[in-house]
């Protein structure tokens, strides 16, 4: 099967509804099972030698932070699909992903604060990592507010897509804020900002810095919450397709009523 | 299980997580049921999309 035929198949909302209707219960069930397993492994893992029991927060905070960023990448990718390829489901995908990404970003901020108080002695500092993730959350809110403020659906979709693509710069900024960026062959050297937030412990060029007894539960939790994200996203897309069908039927009904009124003989 | 001196922070994190994700899932489920109900009401009234109505009209023409 070629890529084009997969794209064409999924471009049909009716086919998407039928396919997603069959997949969704299994995806949601698998997500819950993997999350339960991951959390069980996390809660039975040994406490950290520095953080103690507070490491349990990491098993939900880190996946939330990853998914907050992945959600925005999905919104931006879908927006690109709308503006460049005019894929019929691209805007449906972007619209459905925004509230889910916002929820995970909010969870990353809250659980990060609740971890920060006992570990750093403060709930919040205005450093580059925390502030850039807060900006990501506001960007999500901005996308949703912009869309809901414009009644004309096509215009709202296009303007929201443009804002989503402009805002994608936040993603490398979040990453660079703690670790900096060095690309010697480009002569690019961006130093890390002064921050309380620790650099990445999992995705590193020299391998993960976490002990396997804590790394595997974290990866199971990340996988489980990622599956949950896609299950929620699929449900959101199905709802949006139904909402658009309802709107189309209402418009058609009004048009027919007007046409009938115009055709009726004047009394 | 003894969660040590920071138990409140750990439990609060999990509680907030559960509440936010449960609220999100509940909103999506409710929205799905609501949209399906609206669609059923419109279809029961005989509403059809213009493209479908146009096709049906064309097929019934002699």
Backbone φ/ψ region at A232: left (φ over 0), alpha (ψ -120 to 50), beta: alpha
pTM above 0.90, yes or no: no
pLDDT at A56 (0 to 100)? 94
Q: How many domains does chain A have?
A: 1
Q: pLDDT digits over B2-48, tens only?
A: 888 889 999 999 999 999 999 999 999 999 999 999 999 998 887 77
Angle between helices A170-179 and A58-80 (to 10 degrees): 140
pLDDT at A139 over 60: yes
Contacts of A99 in chain B (CB under 8 A): 24
B15 touches chain A (CB under 8 A): no
Task: Report the residue of A17, A43, A62, A107 to disrupt the B interface, i.e. the one with the largest count of B CBs within 10 Å.
Answer: A107
Domain membership flag for residue A12: no
Cα–Cα distance for residue pair A228/A38, rounded to 1 Å: 13
pLDDT at A167 (0 to 100)? 93
What domain range includes position A93? 25-238
Q: How does the average pLDDT of chain A come out, rounded?
A: 89
Q: pLDDT digits over A75-127, tens only?
A: 999 999 999 988 889 999 999 999 999 999 999 999 999 999 999 899 998 88
Domain membership flag for residue A159: yes
Can you give the CATH number for the domain in which A134 is found? 1.20.120
Q: Which residues of A144-180 are buried (b: 16+ CB within 10 A; e: fewer)?
A: eeebeeeeeeeebbbbbbebbbebbebbebbbbbbbe
ipTM of the complex as predicted:
0.87
Cα–Cα distance for residue pair A210/A59, rounded to 1 Å: 12
Domain membership flag for residue A132: yes
Q: pLDDT digits over A174-195, tens only?
A: 888 877 777 888 777 777 777 7
pLDDT at A148 (0 to 100)? 95
């Amino acid at each position: 099967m070629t890529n084009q035929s997969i794209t064409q198949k999924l471009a049909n909302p009716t086919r998407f509804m039928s396919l997603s209707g069959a997949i969704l219960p299994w995806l949601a069930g698998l997500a819950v099972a993997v999350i339960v397993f991951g959390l069980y492994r996390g809660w039975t893992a040994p406490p950290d030698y520095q953080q103690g029991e507070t490491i349990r927060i990491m098993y939900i905070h880190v996946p939330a932070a990853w998914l907050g960023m992945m959600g925005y990448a999905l919104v931006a990718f879908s927006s690109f699909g709308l503006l460049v390829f005019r894929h019929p489901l691209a805007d449906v995908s972007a619209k459905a992903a925004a509230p889910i990404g916002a929820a995970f970003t909010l969870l990353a901020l809250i659980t990060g604060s609740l971890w920060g108080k006992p570990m750093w002695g403060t709930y919040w500092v205005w450093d580059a990592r925390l502030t850039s993730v807060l900006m990501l959350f506001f960007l999500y809110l901005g996308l949703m507010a912009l869309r809901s403020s414009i009644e004309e659906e096509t215009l709202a979709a296009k303007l929201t897509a443009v804002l989503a693509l402009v805002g994608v710069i936040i993603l490398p900024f979040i990453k660079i804020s703690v670790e900096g960026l060095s690309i010697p062959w480009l002569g690019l050297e961006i130093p890390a900002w002064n921050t309380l937030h620790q650099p990445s412990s999992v995705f590193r060029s020299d391998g993960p810095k976490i002990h396997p007894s804590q790394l595997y539960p974290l990866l199971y939790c990340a996988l489980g919450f990622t599956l949950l994200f896609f299950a929620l996203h699929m449900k959101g897309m199905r709802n949006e397709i139904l909402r658009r069908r309802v709107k189309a039927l209402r418009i058609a009904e009004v048009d027919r009523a007007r046409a009938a009124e115009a055709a009726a003989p004047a009394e | 299980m003894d969660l040590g001196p920071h138990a409140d922070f750990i439990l609060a994190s999990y509680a907030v997580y559960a509440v936010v994700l449960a609220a999100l899932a509940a909103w999506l489920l409710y929205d799905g049921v609501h949209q399906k109900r609206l669609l059923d009401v419109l279809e029961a009234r005989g509403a059809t999309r213009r493209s479908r109505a146009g096709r049906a009209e064309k097929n019934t023409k002699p």
